[in-house]
Amino acid sequence: MKRILAVGFGGMIGSLLRASIYVAFTGGMGLWLVNIAGSFLIGVAAIRLARKSVELRLVVSTGLLGSFTTFSAFSADWFHYLESSIWLGLAFAGSMMVSCIVSAAAGLWVGRREVPL
């Protein structure tokens, strides 16, 4: 039960942060910002929290960052672009995927540095 509550607590914070960014950045920029920043932070957390408690990892990675990033909003936008043009949809999906993977890799690299964040 403690682990489920940890995920729920982190999820509440992450979804509120995502909603705040969506309000501040309109026109699709919010989606890009949360997915790229979230991917970076997941990379950092994977390294920095590896030896921490399971509950802390669940709060940060699964709860907070899992609800902060959003695959469902990505999917909705992707379908919108696909309706306009298959090429636009493929470019959107490919660029989002590459951006998030590069961002997560950068987070892993930063997480391995000895400098505190």
Could you tell me which residues are annotated as the binding site for Na(+)? 66, 69
List for the chain the helix, strand, coil content (%; round to 5): 85, 0, 15
Exposed (0-12), middle (13-18) or buried (19+): which is 93, by Cβ within 10 Å?
middle
**Residues in the annotated binding site:** 66, 69
Fill in the amino acid letter for 87.
W
Tokens of 108: 């892993």
Tokens of 100: 């998030």
CA 19 to CA 46: how far, in whole Å?
A: 24
